[in-house]
Structure 1
Amino acid sequence: MTQGPILYISGQTPQQDTEIPVAMYAQTTIVLNKIEAILNQHDLKWSAVAKMTVFITDAADLGGVRDAFTAILGEEKPAMSLVVVSGLIDPSYKVEIEAQAELPR
């Protein structure tokens, strides 16, 4: 449960420069790194994240998502929803993640 003002982070996608990796682990890592960069801009850490929504295009790729989350977030476990969708804005995207973090008062 959050107490302070909320930082809403729009859905982040797995494109880095002009590259979009094929592997789900690599795509998820890029997305989480983008979210972490936004958190850092607000002097926040992963512990400030209250909720994340993960959109994936294939449930079979869930292992790559889990592995990336474990590697980057470690023991941090924000509330999370996982939604399997028929597609994202670019057919090469396999994952998109949005987040909500609590800002200090």
Structure 2
Amino acid sequence: MERSQHYVRPDGLPPVNGYSHAVAFSGRMIAISGQVPLDAEGNLVGADDAQIQTRQVFDNLAAALAAAGAGMRHVVKLTVYLTDLADLAAFRTVRDDYLSPDTPPACSLVQVSGLVNPSFRIEIDALAAI
């Protein structure tokens, strides 16, 4: 049984780039706290490199999901926080390595003036359903 339905671009809504305008789902909900570009020892990864930081954040999301018995395919919603919109292309490149283009999650992307550590360029939280 399919547990999620992705409405990538319903009639009357603008084009998208790697996300769905809506996702309907059922099942056990998993909320993943905002993940930042720190490795398992708490070290910053990719000091001034948005793509390396984003990859670490997605690796952290995948690890948190796995701990809850889920995977990236179960993500129904992402919220992305960027300190610089110039990093959007790097985010999209990495995102496309982790998420299926056929069933992308709903997504919000927000530019923020800063994150908890001034060296962080990105933070992402997620909702998943299994």
1:96 aligned onto 2:119: no
Q: Which amino acid aligns with 1:90?
A: N
Match of 1:7 among 30, 48, 51: 30
Number of residue pairs matched by the alignment: 103
Q: What are the ranges of 5 or more consecutive residues in structure 1 without an aligned counterpart?
A: none
Counterpart code for 2:124: I
Q: Whose relative contact order is higher, 1 or 2, with alpha carbons under 8 Å and at least 6 apart?
A: 1
Q: Which runs of 5+ in 2 are unaligned?
A: 1-23
TM-score (norm 1): 0.90
Structure 2 counterpart SS, 1:36: helix
Cα RMSD between the aligned structures?
1.3
The answer to whether the 8 A contact 1:24-1:94 is kept is yes
Q: Is the 1:20–1:92 Cα contact (8 Å) retained in structure 2?
A: no
What is the CA-CA distance between 1:74 and the residue it aligns to?
Answer: 4.1
TM-fit CA distance, 1:4? 1.9
1:16-95 matches, cutoff 5 A: 16=39, 17=41, 18-21=43-46, 22-75=48-101, 76-95=103-122
Deviation readout 1:26-83 (Å, 9 max, x if unpaired):
0010000011011112221222111000000001110110111112224351111000
CA distance in 2, matches of 1:11, 1:58: 17
Distance in 2, Cα, partners of 1:57 & 1:27: 12
Which deviates more from structure 2 when the two are superposed, residues 71-80 or residues 29-38? 71-80
